[in-house]
Amino acid sequence: MKQESYELFKNASLEEIVQILDTELKTRNESPFWADKVVPFSTAILSVLIPLKEVGLLFTPEGEKVEILTPELFFMWNDFVSLKSLAFTVQKSNAAGELLRTKIEPELAKNYKSIDLSLLGAYLSRYTVNLENEELDFPISNYNLHQGVSNVIKSLL
């Protein structure tokens, strides 16, 4: 992973990160199939991670608190099962007004600010993730597709 990628995730806005990914895609002549998926996927994930970063409540898929948004943390959330879990965690946290389903101290979890889930929700529903019932599964082909998208993103950073 390039050092610039760490600085990018630590300091940049969603728009800046996505722009860098988009530019890298174009300079590397990735297949249009992948190019059409990388930017929306990254935007969907970052639309939740950046607001969590701003209030100091980043966490791993296992619920552990993390101080800095890194490429590694971003890739942890690239896993489609983890991303679905993130959507439900944020949805429940929005309703409760505090961060739920993590190992973050309750006093700190109260600093949670409601996060707009429209980008992530639209993205997940496009890939047949049921946003009403967390227990319902999605097609394995969608999981495999997103493993490929994640690999393309890794090659760009």
Q: What is the pLDDT of residue 66?
A: 97
Q: Looking at residue 95, what is its pLDDT?
A: 97
pLDDT at 113: 97
pLDDT tens digits along 9-25: 999 999 999 999 999 99
Contacts 24+ apart (CB under 8 A), 119-122: 119/43, 119/44, 119/47, 120/44, 120/45, 120/47, 120/48, 120/83, 120/86, 120/87, 120/90, 121/87, 122/44
Domain count of the chain? 1
pLDDT at site 146: 84
Q: Residues 23-34: what's their mean pLDDT?
A: 87
Q: Which residues span the domain enclosing 26? A: 3-156
Look at residue 29 and tell me whether its pLDDT is greater than 90: no
Mean pLDDT calculated for residue range 81-92: 96
Does residue 130 have a pLDDT over 80? no
Q: What is the DSSP string of 120-155?
A: HHHHHHHTT--SS-TTS---HHHHHHHHHHHHHHHH
